[in-house]
Structure 1
Amino acid sequence: MNTIEPGTQPPDWPGWAVATAICLRFWSRLPVPPLPGESESHAAPDFRAVPRALPFAALVIAAPAALVALGTGLAGLSGLAVAALALTALALTTGAFHEDGLADTADGLFGGHTPEKRLEIMKDSRIGSYGALALGLSLLIRASLIAMILDRAGASAAAAALLAAAPWSRAEGLFLLATQPPARSTGAAAAVGRPSAATARIALALSLVLATGIALTVQLPVAGLMLGFALAHGAAAILSRLARRLIGGQTGDILGAAQQLSEIAIYLGLALALGWGTGLSG
């Protein structure tokens, strides 16, 4: 496995535009043309070099869903319909990348009795009861919270919430990749290399700046955004501890689950803050 020490730079460090394009290719189904100097466009990216640009790629990934939320919200559809359509667009853009990780994580962590059995279950492409329940609850909770944001603050706020949640939720998964050992010596999480904690913190810092700017632009409550980030970091930390205890570390599925939990947490923080404002004004 490729590793680097904190504060060091891997060879052939790509520019921000190239790194963003590589992140787009890895985290989404969006078409990305061959890049300058690239010999194999479908090879696993070297995560020592590219993940600092993940926040920018995440905004692009969430943009179709945000546009759907804005358009259907302004067209007068109900909050739940808007949220369902936006989440559909998001799943199509990512290929349900993170949802798959959440389902496999739920099946593996709760369906096995030994680390080896849990990892075996997580690698199985079939979905079990725990995975189906996790997927259903994730979609239900996210749709309900996005609908609540739209009903309380409008279509632009719902679109902004999708954009604001995208960078930070993915950076939380990246932070686990950087700070937790891999549970397997093979697999996606091990194959892409391990970024330094400093690189993951750069992604988190960029996510904070981008999300705050989006929130200020559409007058989303920044306090709610910060609450959501805190809840997201707490949820990722709990998942990290659970994975470390049950399977010995992180996997690609664990990173996907961290993104899903973090996305829910950010919507929850925004919805709570908007609810407080409504209660105070009432």
Structure 2
Amino acid sequence: MSTAPTADARPIRILFVFAWLVVGGEETEVRLLAQALDPTRYRIEVVACFRKDGMPEQTHAQLEAIGVPVDRTPYALGFDETVAYLASKLPAYDVVVSCQNVADIYPALERMHLRPPLIEHGGLVSEALAGPKHFTARYVGVCASIRDAAASRMPGREQHAIEIPSMVDTRAFDPTRRVPVRAALGIAEGVPLIGWLGRLDPKKRVEDFIEAAALVHARHPRARFVVIGGPDAFIPEYAVALRNRARALGLDGALTFLGDRGGRARPARRARHIRLAFAR
């Protein structure tokens, strides 16, 4: 039996509400999910509530390149105006997914009589413990400790807090690109190359990688190291401190900071994020 939608069926509309858009795990998951879901059955849109000078535009461009609209309207609004804007926007959607403990989402929902189901997605224990949960149909934590923290705020329905680990699409690691990428980096074949990938945020402890690189380099001078990822717009001084630390450890010429780098669009292996959240 065919599962194709009928002519008058409309896609399920899913709105991801971000506190802000940077280059991170949640942003990547939205992009991979949008590539994997059947566009005749699901339509994903994104709205971001806040922007600060220095935040990268990479995620905006990547989402729009694959047909995911990014609503920037709140960038020009204050908090109360953003709440009112979301309250007018949310009723059009079948599911709302809030990422990063969006401060505007609950005040907006409080103003509505008919509310779409809300999924909250959290990548920090502090996010899971913050704010009310009475409108949250499901809380998705990326690890058990985050799930448990959310469950502690959902008495009587702890099972509505679930764990779905962050995805890694291994198809992005294409062995056919090894030679040209190393050549572009000026790394000869046979030279050990070790990388770190992520946003330059103190909670990720990039300094540990730099300290380890110094230890390895002392014993293997040919080894080279790269740090891939840009500064956190809220803590730009951390990126400066990392560069200074690498220099102080004698890693000039051995360790390179590459900043944010775009990747090729690929379908994700795990397209069940929304379905799993409601099925459990």
- With normalisation by structure 1, the TM-score equals 0.23
More strand by share: 2
- With normalisation by structure 2, the TM-score equals 0.23
Tell which structure's C-alpha radius of gyration is larger. 2
More helix by share: 1
Kindly indicate whether structure 1 or structure 2 has the higher relative contact order, using CA contacts under 8 Å at least 6 residues apart. Answer: 1
